[in-house]
Amino acid sequence: MLEKIIVIDSIKILEDSQIEIQQATKIIDNGVEISRVYHNWCLAPGQVLQGQTARVTKAANAMWTPDVIAAYKAKLINLPK
């Protein structure tokens, strides 16, 4: 019997407080993993978390204090154009 299992494989906090998420999609055939595909994305401090898993949302809410969000926005304003 084939099963498709989707899990958040890792959550990393980057230097500028962005959160990098890696999701693994596993295909299991009779208890044996036959395939694993990764999907990665980043969230910026203050970004809307709608649609993210509870685990990702909890990590973002713990990390993104008002000061962290303000520092990230200030960094963006000061980037060379």
- Asked if residues 53 and 41 have their Cβ atoms less than 8 Å apart, the reply is no
Q: How far is CA 58 from the centre of its chain?
A: 11
Place of tokens 């060379």: 80
pTM of the model: 0.84
Q: Which of 4, 24, 17, 9 is nearest to 55 (CA)?
A: 9
Give the pLDDT confidence score for residue 33 in this predicted structure: 95
Q: Is 21 left (phi over 0), alpha (psi -120 to 50) or beta?
A: beta
Report CA-CA distances (Å) from 47 to 1, 72, 76, 78: 39, 11, 14, 19
pLDDT digits (tens, 9 = 90+) for 14-48: 999 999 999 999 999 999 999 999 999 999 999 99
